[in-house]
Each structure stands twice: as structure tokens, then as C-alpha cells.
Amino acid sequence: MAVTAVAGAEARPIPRLRRLEDERWLALALLMPTAILLGLFIAYPFFEGVLLSLTSQRVGVPGEFVGLKNFVKIWNDSIFRTTVWNTFWYTGVTTVFKLALGLWLAMLLNRHFKGKALVRAFILLPFIIPTVLSTFAWKWMFDPTFSVINWALFHLGLITQRINWLGDPDLAMTSIIVVNIWRGVPFFAISLLAGLQTISPELNEAAAIDGARPWNRFWYVTWPLLLPVTMVVMLFSVIQTFADFQLVYVMTGGGPANATHLFATYAYQLGIGTGLLSEGAAISLAMFPFLFIIVVVQLLYIRRVETR
């Protein structure tokens, strides 16, 4: 051991490697792989998308530059306006429910009980199962003819006629919202649970000794301390939900009569189904400003919360 150490000290690193001893070079070298990956798979497709949306390209037909014409066209498109409304509604409602249920679940899981580890693992199941698979299962549960939900309600004597889950525009939206919440709650629960565990129990105990009731302890102690984590979790969730595709594609394909189209599914229908690549790109990009504003607001808020 000693011998090798001496030998190592004697052999000077070759000059090129010595450069890495400078932290700036080392940082650059270490960042490079990530930068290349992000550039290749995020930045490049993004700029390609922007360029595409400014042309009149169709599948197999190289288009020409048309400026903002595609955006004007989708702005006047009633299906697109429905899509915008759907996406906001879908994201808003699911996020509120996912947060409320996730927080509740996290508080429950934060207590001590038998089989805690096992329950925690099971809670994650909806999040772990590939979305397409679990969505297919839900699709069957909402099936117009064979819905097990209808079957149960019927046999409990709660309904006399089938409920048309995916055929009625409002119920179809409600159905995909339910599935999204089901799938998203574990992510909130586990992340918030991690947040809860960083809060020292002494703070709560001290508040209890001072006579604070459970609700007050939550509102004045736990919640403010949990807020930074909550905001980050919400940020992730909003981005993912806003750009959701698989769930709607599998459950309704955007129907009935476009009642459940989201940005991603409508962009797919136009870009791939109709071959209007440039318009599809324009719809995908139309998502960007909305999402950008939401994210900036949230990030600013997180910074304020953290520096408070």
C-alpha cells in the first residue's frame, strides 16, 4: 500500500489531466454530459418545434415559412378553445384534489402503526403501474355496457339506469379527472410524507404543551414548514398534468365530441391523424406560454416562501 502511494506521488499526471485540477474546467467537464443530453433531447426538439410551427409543413410535404398563420388558425378554432378550457379545468381540479388527499394520506402515514412500511409501499402502486395499463383497467370500469361501478351501484339499489360514464361530456371529464387523481395522489402523499418527516416532532410537542389544538398545530406549525415541499410537488404535478396524453388517449381519444381533448391529444390528432405537422406543433407550443406563466409564478412564490 505504502509503495503504491509513493509510486503515485512520483508519477506526475499528464498535463491534459492536470487541467482538471482547476475547478472551473472540472465543473465544465462534469456538466458536459448533462448539457449535451439536454441539448440533444430537449433544446433541439424544442427549437425544431418552434421552426415547424412557423411553416406550412405536412407529412411528406416540405412547407414554406408562413409566420404566425398557424397560431392565428388555431386561435379561431373552436375545438382548440375547448381544448384550452379542458386542460385548465383538468389541471386545476385534479391538482386541488391530489393535494388535499395526498396531504391527508401523508399525515396518516406519518403516524406509527403496525405494518407501516408495507402500507407505504402499497400506497405507491397506482403510481408505479404503467399508466396505459391502469388506464385500460379504468376504461373497463367505466365501460358503457359492462361498468363494474354501474353494476355495484345497481345492486346496491342506488341507480335504476346505467350511468353513461364516458359518453356524457361532463361525466367523461369527471371520469378522467378521477383517474388522474387516483394516479397522482401517491406521488403527493409520498413526497409530502418525506417533507413531514423533516419537521422536528419537538415543535409540535412544544405547541401542544402551550395548549395548541390539533388544527392549530397543523395550521401554524406543520403547514408553514411543509409549504416549500408542497410547492415543489405541485409544480411537478401541474407540469405533468397539463401535458398529459396517455390517460385521455386511452380512455376517450378526446371524445365524446371533443369534450375531453387536452393540448397533447389534440396536437396528436392534428399532427399525426391529419398529417398537419405544423399545426400540431403550433398547438403543442401554445401550451408553452400558459405553462411558462404558471411555472414562473410558482417558482417566484417558492423563493418568497423559502426566504421568509
Partner 1 sequence: MAKTKRRSVLKLAGGAAMGGMAGILATGRTPAYAQQKTVHWLKWVDFVPATDQMFRRELVPQAEKELGMKINLETVNGNDLQPRITAGIQSGSGADIIMSFNSYTHLYANSVVDMGPLAEEVGKREGGIYKYAQAICSNGKGVYMGMPWAVIGGMIAYRKSWLDEVGATKFPDTWESYRDVAKKLKAKGRPFGQTLGHTFGDAPGFTYPYMWSWGGKEVEADGKTVVINSKETVESVKFMTGLWKDGMDEGGLAWDDTNNNRAFLSQTIAATLNGASIYIESLRKPDQYKTEKGEPLNKDILHAPLPKGPAGQFGFHLLQSNMVMKYSKNQDAAKQFLTWLHQEANYRKFFESQKGFATPCTAKWEEDKLWDVDPVMTPYKVAAKLGQAPGFAGPPDAKAQEGLSKYIITDMYAKAVQGMPAEESVKWAESELKKIYVA
Please report whether residue 143 would count as binding partner 1 according to CB under 8 A: yes
Q: How far is the CB of 154 from partner 1 (least distance, A)?
A: 13
CB of 90 or CB of 187, closer to partner 1:
90
Whole-angstrom distance, CA of residue 184 vs CA of residue 189? 9
CB of 56 or CB of 298, closer to partner 1:
56
Please report whether residue 145 would count as binding partner 1 according to CB under 8 A: yes
Half-sphere exposure of 198 (CA within 13 A, CB side): 12
**Hey, is 112 helix, strand or coil?**
coil
Whole-angstrom distance, CA of residue 225 vs CA of residue 202? 13
CB of 247 or CB of 276, closer to partner 1:
276
CB of 60 or CB of 115, closer to partner 1:
60
* 195-224 positions binding partner 1, by CB under 8 A: none
Q: How far is the CB of 169 from partner 1 (least distance, A)?
A: 6
* Segment contacting partner 1 by CB under 8 A, of 39-47, 137-145, 199-207, 232-240: 137-145
Number of residues that bind partner 1 (CB under 8 A): 38
Q: Which long-range contacts (CB under 8 A, 24 or more apart) does 86-89 make?
A: 86/173, 86/259, 86/260, 86/261, 86/262, 87/242, 87/262, 87/263, 87/287, 87/290, 88/290, 89/173
Please report whether residue 293 would count as binding partner 1 according to CB under 8 A: no
Q: How far is the CB of 273 from partner 1 (least distance, A)?
A: 4
Q: Name residues whose C-beta falls within 8 Å of residue 142's C-beta, 6 or more positions apart in sequence.
A: 149, 165, 166, 175, 251
Q: How far is the CB of 277 from partner 1 (least distance, A)?
A: 8
* 256-285 positions binding partner 1, by CB under 8 A: 256-258, 269-277
**Quick one: which of 5, 25, 28 has its CA closest to 17?**
25
Residue in this structure with the C-alpha cell 402503526, named with its chain if needed: 113
- Find the DSSP H helices in the chain: 2-10, 15-18, 23-38, 44-53, 69-75, 78-109, 116-123, 125-128, 131-141, 148-155, 169-197, 201-209, 214-217, 223-242, 246-251, 263-268, 277-307
Q: How far is the CB of 192 from partner 1 (least distance, A)?
A: 35
Please report whether residue 246 would count as binding partner 1 according to CB under 8 A: no
Q: Can you tell me which of 63, 92, 169, 228 binds partner 1, judged by CB under 8 A?
A: 169
Q: Are 183 and 134 a contacting pair, CB within 8 Å?
A: yes
* Segment contacting partner 1 by CB under 8 A, of 55-63, 97-105, 114-122, 210-218: 55-63
* Segment contacting partner 1 by CB under 8 A, of 12-20, 98-106, 140-148, 199-207: 140-148
Please report whether residue 27 would count as binding partner 1 according to CB under 8 A: no
Rule CB under 8 A: which residues touch partner 1? 58-61, 73, 76-79, 142-146, 162, 164-169, 172, 252-258, 269-277
